[in-house]
Chains A and B, each alone.
Chain A
Protein backbone atom coordinates (compact mmCIF):
# COMPACT_ATOMS: atom_id res chain seq x y z
CA UNK A 1 0.00 0.00 0.00
CA UNK A 2 1.22 3.53 -0.71
CA UNK A 3 0.34 6.85 0.95
CA UNK A 4 -3.01 7.09 -0.81
CA UNK A 5 -5.82 5.45 1.17
CA UNK A 6 -7.44 2.52 -0.55
CA UNK A 7 -10.77 3.30 -2.17
CA UNK A 8 -13.34 1.14 -0.45
CA UNK A 9 -17.00 0.81 -1.36
CA UNK A 10 -19.02 2.84 1.18
CA UNK A 11 -21.00 -0.27 2.16
CA UNK A 12 -17.86 -1.73 3.71
CA UNK A 13 -15.84 -0.64 6.73
CA UNK A 14 -13.45 2.17 5.92
CA UNK A 15 -9.84 2.20 7.09
CA UNK A 16 -10.48 4.99 9.64
CA UNK A 17 -13.57 3.27 11.02
CA UNK A 18 -12.64 1.42 14.21
CA UNK A 19 -16.05 -0.13 14.85
CA UNK A 20 -16.64 2.21 17.80
CA UNK A 21 -20.26 1.21 18.34
CA UNK A 22 -19.33 -2.42 18.93
CA UNK A 23 -15.97 -1.87 20.62
CA UNK A 24 -17.26 -2.68 24.09
CA UNK A 25 -18.55 -6.01 22.79
CA UNK A 26 -15.43 -6.89 20.82
CA UNK A 27 -12.82 -5.95 23.40
CA UNK A 28 -13.74 -8.53 26.06
CA UNK A 29 -14.75 -11.11 23.46
CA UNK A 30 -11.36 -11.04 21.74
CA UNK A 31 -9.08 -9.61 24.38
CA UNK A 32 -8.66 -6.52 22.25
CA UNK A 33 -7.44 -3.06 23.24
CA UNK A 34 -8.44 0.09 21.37
CA UNK A 35 -5.06 -0.11 19.65
CA UNK A 36 -5.82 -3.66 18.52
CA UNK A 37 -9.11 -2.52 17.01
CA UNK A 38 -7.32 0.27 15.19
CA UNK A 39 -4.75 -2.04 13.68
CA UNK A 40 -7.21 -4.60 12.35
CA UNK A 41 -7.09 -4.89 8.59
CA UNK A 42 -10.08 -3.58 6.61
CA UNK A 43 -10.87 -7.20 5.83
CA UNK A 44 -10.99 -8.17 9.50
CA UNK A 45 -13.11 -5.09 10.20
CA UNK A 46 -15.50 -6.28 7.52
CA UNK A 47 -15.64 -9.59 9.32
CA UNK A 48 -16.92 -7.84 12.41
CA UNK A 49 -19.23 -5.59 10.40
CA UNK A 50 -21.64 -8.51 10.12
CA UNK A 51 -22.88 -7.23 13.49
CA UNK A 52 -23.61 -3.89 11.83
CA UNK A 53 -25.78 -5.52 9.17
CA UNK A 54 -27.37 -8.51 10.93
CA UNK A 55 -27.47 -7.14 14.46
CA UNK A 56 -25.00 -7.13 17.33
CA UNK A 57 -26.12 -10.60 18.47
CA UNK A 58 -26.29 -12.40 15.15
CA UNK A 59 -23.58 -14.90 16.08
CA UNK A 60 -25.78 -16.12 18.92
CA UNK A 61 -29.03 -16.02 16.94
CA UNK A 62 -28.42 -18.89 14.54
CA UNK A 63 -27.00 -22.39 14.31
CA UNK A 64 -25.62 -24.44 11.44
CA UNK A 65 -26.95 -27.99 11.28
CA UNK A 66 -25.25 -30.81 9.37
CA UNK A 67 -27.69 -33.67 8.75
CA UNK A 68 -26.43 -37.00 7.46
CA UNK A 69 -28.56 -38.00 4.49
CA UNK A 70 -26.75 -41.19 3.46
CA UNK A 71 -24.23 -43.55 4.94
CA UNK A 72 -24.79 -46.52 2.65
CA UNK A 73 -22.51 -49.12 4.13
CA UNK A 74 -22.13 -47.65 7.56
CA UNK A 75 -18.88 -45.77 7.82
CA UNK A 76 -16.05 -46.78 10.13
CA UNK A 77 -16.70 -43.81 12.38
CA UNK A 78 -20.31 -44.84 12.98
CA UNK A 79 -21.94 -41.96 11.13
CA UNK A 80 -25.51 -42.94 10.30
CA UNK A 81 -28.35 -41.46 8.24
CA UNK A 82 -30.48 -38.98 10.14
CA UNK A 83 -27.81 -38.03 12.66
CA UNK A 84 -26.84 -34.38 13.06
CA UNK A 85 -23.90 -32.24 14.08
CA UNK A 86 -24.81 -28.75 15.28
CA UNK A 87 -22.47 -25.76 15.29
CA UNK A 88 -22.83 -22.27 16.67
CA UNK A 89 -22.01 -19.40 14.32
CA UNK A 90 -18.48 -19.12 15.71
CA UNK A 91 -17.98 -22.61 14.22
CA UNK A 92 -17.88 -24.39 17.55
CA UNK A 93 -19.49 -27.81 17.80
CA UNK A 94 -22.45 -27.96 20.16
CA UNK A 95 -22.05 -31.55 21.37
CA UNK A 96 -25.14 -31.33 23.54
CA UNK A 97 -27.28 -30.80 20.42
CA UNK A 98 -25.42 -33.28 18.20
CA UNK A 99 -26.07 -37.02 17.97
CA UNK A 100 -23.58 -38.00 15.25
CA UNK A 101 -20.01 -39.04 16.02
CA UNK A 102 -17.92 -35.87 15.71
CA UNK A 103 -15.94 -37.26 12.82
CA UNK A 104 -13.12 -34.90 11.87
CA UNK A 105 -13.30 -36.06 8.25
CA UNK A 106 -16.98 -35.24 7.83
CA UNK A 107 -16.76 -31.98 9.79
CA UNK A 108 -13.74 -30.50 8.04
CA UNK A 109 -15.52 -29.50 4.81
CA UNK A 110 -17.97 -27.45 6.89
CA UNK A 111 -15.28 -24.90 7.70
CA UNK A 112 -15.46 -23.49 4.18
CA UNK A 113 -19.16 -22.90 4.68
CA UNK A 114 -18.40 -20.99 7.87
CA UNK A 115 -15.92 -18.75 6.08
CA UNK A 116 -18.73 -17.95 3.69
CA UNK A 117 -21.06 -17.15 6.60
CA UNK A 118 -18.78 -14.34 7.73
CA UNK A 119 -18.35 -13.07 4.19
CA UNK A 120 -22.10 -13.16 3.56
CA UNK A 121 -22.92 -11.49 6.90
CA UNK A 122 -20.64 -8.62 5.89
CA UNK A 123 -22.82 -8.31 2.78
CA UNK A 124 -26.03 -8.37 4.82
CA UNK A 125 -27.01 -11.75 3.42
CA UNK A 126 -28.34 -14.90 5.02
CA UNK A 127 -25.09 -16.36 6.37
CA UNK A 128 -25.58 -19.77 4.76
CA UNK A 129 -24.32 -20.09 1.21
CA UNK A 130 -27.00 -20.61 -1.41
CA UNK A 131 -24.72 -23.04 -3.27
CA UNK A 132 -22.47 -25.16 -1.06
CA UNK A 133 -25.06 -26.88 1.10
CA UNK A 134 -23.99 -30.45 0.50
CA UNK A 135 -20.92 -32.07 1.96
CA UNK A 136 -19.45 -35.54 1.93
CA UNK A 137 -16.79 -37.51 3.72
CA UNK A 138 -13.51 -36.82 1.88
CA UNK A 139 -12.36 -40.44 2.18
CA UNK A 140 -13.13 -42.18 -1.12
CA UNK A 141 -12.13 -45.80 -0.56
CA UNK A 142 -11.84 -48.65 -3.03
CA UNK A 143 -15.55 -48.52 -3.87
CA UNK A 144 -15.08 -45.11 -5.51
CA UNK A 145 -16.96 -43.36 -2.75
CA UNK A 146 -20.07 -45.52 -2.87
CA UNK A 147 -20.09 -46.00 0.89
CA UNK A 148 -19.10 -42.53 1.99
CA UNK A 149 -21.33 -40.50 4.28
CA UNK A 150 -23.23 -37.63 2.67
CA UNK A 151 -24.79 -34.70 4.49
CA UNK A 152 -26.82 -31.55 3.95
CA UNK A 153 -26.33 -28.26 5.74
CA UNK A 154 -28.96 -25.76 6.83
CA UNK A 155 -29.18 -22.72 9.07
CA UNK A 156 -31.79 -22.35 11.79
CA UNK A 157 -32.70 -19.95 14.53
CA UNK A 158 -30.96 -20.96 17.76
CA UNK A 159 -34.04 -20.24 19.87
CA UNK A 160 -36.83 -21.88 17.86
CA UNK A 161 -34.82 -24.16 15.56
CA UNK A 162 -36.87 -22.81 12.63
CA UNK A 163 -34.91 -22.92 9.36
CA UNK A 164 -33.91 -19.49 8.06
CA UNK A 165 -34.56 -19.29 4.36
CA UNK A 166 -34.78 -15.63 3.36
CA UNK A 167 -31.87 -14.36 1.28
CA UNK A 168 -31.33 -10.94 2.85
CA UNK A 169 -31.11 -10.66 6.63
CA UNK A 170 -29.71 -7.13 6.90
CA UNK A 171 -31.85 -5.17 9.27
CA UNK A 172 -33.99 -2.65 7.42
CA UNK A 173 -33.28 -4.29 4.06
CA UNK A 174 -36.09 -5.50 1.86
Chain B
Protein backbone atom coordinates (compact mmCIF):
# COMPACT_ATOMS: atom_id res chain seq x y z
CA UNK B 1 0.00 0.00 0.00
CA UNK B 2 1.42 3.40 -0.91
CA UNK B 3 1.66 6.38 1.42
CA UNK B 4 0.01 9.61 0.21
CA UNK B 5 0.62 11.45 3.50
CA UNK B 6 3.00 13.94 1.91
CA UNK B 7 0.68 14.65 -0.99
CA UNK B 8 -2.29 17.04 -1.32
CA UNK B 9 -5.72 15.69 -0.29
CA UNK B 10 -7.24 13.80 -3.16
CA UNK B 11 -10.23 16.17 -3.20
CA UNK B 12 -7.80 18.94 -4.09
CA UNK B 13 -6.51 17.11 -7.14
CA UNK B 14 -7.74 16.81 -10.70
CA UNK B 15 -7.13 14.26 -13.41
CA UNK B 16 -5.67 15.90 -16.49
CA UNK B 17 -5.50 14.22 -19.89
CA UNK B 18 -2.92 15.99 -22.03
CA UNK B 19 -2.92 15.45 -25.78
CA UNK B 20 0.39 13.93 -26.81
CA UNK B 21 -0.40 13.49 -30.51
CA UNK B 22 -3.29 14.24 -32.86
CA UNK B 23 -3.87 13.97 -36.58
CA UNK B 24 -6.78 14.39 -39.00
CA UNK B 25 -9.02 15.26 -36.06
CA UNK B 26 -12.39 16.65 -37.14
CA UNK B 27 -12.68 18.42 -33.81
CA UNK B 28 -9.37 20.23 -34.23
CA UNK B 29 -7.80 18.83 -31.09
CA UNK B 30 -4.14 19.73 -30.89
CA UNK B 31 -1.05 18.40 -29.14
CA UNK B 32 -0.59 19.94 -25.70
CA UNK B 33 -4.26 20.68 -25.12
CA UNK B 34 -5.99 19.25 -22.06
CA UNK B 35 -9.15 17.65 -20.74
CA UNK B 36 -9.55 18.25 -17.01
CA UNK B 37 -11.72 16.09 -14.74
CA UNK B 38 -12.41 16.31 -11.05
CA UNK B 39 -11.99 13.17 -9.00
CA UNK B 40 -15.68 12.28 -9.34
CA UNK B 41 -15.39 12.27 -13.11
CA UNK B 42 -16.91 15.61 -14.00
CA UNK B 43 -15.35 17.16 -17.07
CA UNK B 44 -14.42 20.74 -16.19
CA UNK B 45 -15.05 22.72 -19.34
CA UNK B 46 -13.67 25.97 -17.94
CA UNK B 47 -10.34 24.34 -17.10
CA UNK B 48 -9.98 22.28 -20.28
CA UNK B 49 -8.27 23.75 -23.33
CA UNK B 50 -9.25 21.09 -25.87
CA UNK B 51 -12.54 20.92 -27.72
CA UNK B 52 -14.68 18.60 -25.60
CA UNK B 53 -14.96 15.67 -27.98
CA UNK B 54 -16.90 12.71 -26.66
CA UNK B 55 -14.80 10.38 -28.83
CA UNK B 56 -11.89 10.73 -26.42
CA UNK B 57 -13.81 11.73 -23.27
CA UNK B 58 -15.84 8.51 -23.35
CA UNK B 59 -12.66 6.49 -23.83
CA UNK B 60 -11.42 7.89 -20.51
CA UNK B 61 -14.48 6.82 -18.51
CA UNK B 62 -12.97 3.44 -17.54
CA UNK B 63 -9.79 5.24 -16.49
CA UNK B 64 -11.83 7.51 -14.21
CA UNK B 65 -13.50 4.45 -12.67
CA UNK B 66 -10.08 2.86 -12.21
CA UNK B 67 -8.79 6.05 -10.58
CA UNK B 68 -11.64 5.91 -8.09
CA UNK B 69 -10.87 2.25 -7.40
CA UNK B 70 -7.22 3.07 -6.83
CA UNK B 71 -8.15 5.95 -4.51
CA UNK B 72 -10.30 3.56 -2.48
CA UNK B 73 -7.25 1.33 -2.12
CA UNK B 74 -5.02 4.21 -1.06
CA UNK B 75 -3.08 4.11 -4.30
CA UNK B 76 -2.09 6.89 -6.64
CA UNK B 77 -5.16 7.43 -8.87
CA UNK B 78 -3.28 7.10 -12.13
CA UNK B 79 -2.27 3.56 -12.95
CA UNK B 80 1.24 3.16 -14.23
CA UNK B 81 -0.03 0.50 -16.61
CA UNK B 82 -3.04 2.39 -18.00
CA UNK B 83 -1.97 5.97 -18.43
CA UNK B 84 -2.08 6.37 -22.22
CA UNK B 85 -5.33 6.35 -24.18
CA UNK B 86 -6.48 7.14 -27.69
CA UNK B 87 -9.84 8.11 -29.10
CA UNK B 88 -12.44 5.81 -30.64
CA UNK B 89 -11.68 6.94 -34.20
CA UNK B 90 -9.62 4.16 -35.77
CA UNK B 91 -7.54 6.49 -37.96
CA UNK B 92 -7.16 7.00 -41.70
CA UNK B 93 -5.28 3.73 -42.28
CA UNK B 94 -7.78 1.55 -40.45
CA UNK B 95 -11.18 2.51 -41.79
CA UNK B 96 -11.49 5.75 -39.86
CA UNK B 97 -10.36 9.33 -40.16
CA UNK B 98 -8.05 10.67 -37.44
CA UNK B 99 -6.67 9.96 -34.02
CA UNK B 100 -6.03 11.68 -30.71
CA UNK B 101 -3.70 10.32 -28.03
CA UNK B 102 -3.59 11.47 -24.42
CA UNK B 103 -1.58 10.84 -21.29
CA UNK B 104 -3.16 11.06 -17.84
CA UNK B 105 -1.68 12.82 -14.83
CA UNK B 106 -2.82 13.85 -11.37
CA UNK B 107 -2.56 17.58 -10.78
CA UNK B 108 -2.77 19.66 -7.61
CA UNK B 109 -5.56 22.20 -8.19
CA UNK B 110 -3.89 24.77 -5.94
CA UNK B 111 -0.43 24.71 -7.46
CA UNK B 112 -1.13 23.31 -10.92
CA UNK B 113 1.79 20.97 -10.38
CA UNK B 114 1.70 17.30 -11.26
CA UNK B 115 1.35 14.98 -8.29
CA UNK B 116 3.54 11.99 -8.98
CA UNK B 117 3.12 8.50 -7.67
CA UNK B 118 4.77 7.75 -4.33
CA UNK B 119 8.30 6.42 -4.48
CA UNK B 120 8.43 2.81 -5.55
CA UNK B 121 10.12 1.87 -2.29
CA UNK B 122 7.07 2.90 -0.28
CA UNK B 123 4.96 0.35 -2.17
CA UNK B 124 6.85 -2.55 -0.63
The answer to whether A44 and B92 have CB atoms under 8 Å apart is yes
The answer to whether B88 and A31 have CB atoms under 8 Å apart is no
* A31: chain B residues within 8 A (beta carbon): 23-25
The answer to whether B27 and A92 have CB atoms under 8 Å apart is yes
The answer to whether A77 and B42 have CB atoms under 8 Å apart is yes
Q: Is the interface of A mostly helix, strand, loop or mixed?
A: mixed
* A78: chain B residues within 8 A (beta carbon): 42
The answer to whether A92 and B54 have CB atoms under 8 Å apart is yes
Cα distance, A76 to B52, chains bound together (Å): 22
Give residues 1-51 of B contacting A (CB, 8 Å). 23-27, 37, 40-46, 51
A60 interface residue (CB < 8 Å to B): no
Write the chain B residue with the least CB distance to A139: B65
A-B residue pair count with CB separations less than 8 angstroms: 90
Contacts known (A43-B95, A104-B42); A110 close to B54, Cβ less than 8 A: yes
B71 interface residue (CB < 8 Å to A): no
* A91: chain B residues within 8 A (beta carbon): 27, 53-55
Partner of B58, one of A41, A76, A111: A111
Contacts known (A29-B26, A44-B96, A105-B61); A77 close to B54, Cβ less than 8 A: no
* B65: chain A residues within 8 A (beta carbon): 105
Give the Cβ gap from B62 to chain A, nearest Cβ, in Å: 9
* A105: chain B residues within 8 A (beta carbon): 41, 61, 64-65
A90 interface residue (CB < 8 Å to B): yes
Give the Cβ gap from B87 to chain A, nearest Cβ, in Å: 10
Write the chain A residue with the least CB distance to B41: A104
Contacts known (A32-B24, A39-B92, A108-B58); A77 close to B40, Cβ less than 8 A: yes
For the side of the interface on A, what is the size category? 20 to 34
* B95: chain A residues within 8 A (beta carbon): 41, 43-44
User: Can you list 30 A-B pairs with a CB-CB distance of less than 8 A?
Assistant: A29-B26, A30-B24, A30-B26, A31-B23, A31-B25, A36-B24, A39-B92, A44-B92, A44-B96, A76-B40, A78-B42, A91-B27, A92-B51, A92-B52, A93-B43, A93-B52, A95-B46, A102-B44, A103-B42, A104-B41, A104-B42, A104-B57, A104-B60, A104-B64, A107-B54, A107-B58, A108-B54, A110-B58, A114-B55, A138-B61
Given contacts A30-B25, A93-B43, A114-B55, 7 further A-B contacts (CB under 8 A): A92-B27, A95-B45, A95-B46, A104-B37, A104-B41, A108-B58, A108-B61
Taking beta carbons and an 8 Å cutoff, which residues of B are in contact with A? 23-27, 37, 40-46, 51-55, 57-58, 60-61, 64-65, 88, 92-93, 95-98
